[in-house]
Amino acid sequence: MIRCHLSHLVLDEEADQQTVFITETGSERCFPITIGRTEALAIDRALRGQVFPRPLTHDLLMATIVALSGRLMEVRIVDVRNGTFFAVLAIRQDDGSETEIDCRPSDALACLARQPGTPLQVAEAVIDEVG
């Protein structure tokens, strides 16, 4: 796995699909992931620190993880097949056990944006293919 970060998000108000760019930390290699408008707005709102009176979907997910004695330890982009990216949320329980939850990269990045400092790891094969 290679340490990366969410480098920027391109929002196009007239398009249904948006683009998030992932960059290898300490390198120029980067790659785009096309995501839905709703997920892009969720990432953007979290990056800008917007707070809402009621939890949005990704806020609810993060609160659920904490309520169940877990912590998001890492987001991993583990595969790309036919242009579709696959990710997992790596969660550690208070007892030290770890669980990986399959998810879309857009949802994983929306969670990552809600917990600054969470590592983003990308499989080397993914970067080799799309980076």
CA angle at 95 for the pair 46 and 102, rounded to the nearest 5°: 45
pTM over 0.75: yes
Instruction: Dump pLDDT digits (tens) for 56-76.
Output: 899 999 999 999 999 999 999
Closest by alpha carbon to 90, among 37, 103, 80, 81?
103
CATH at residue 25: 3.10.690.10
Based on the structure, what is the number of domains in the chain? 1
Q: Which two tokens stand for residue 1?
A: 């796995």
Range of the structural domain that residue 10 is part of: 2-130
Digit-coded pLDDT (tens) for 86-100: 999 999 999 999 999
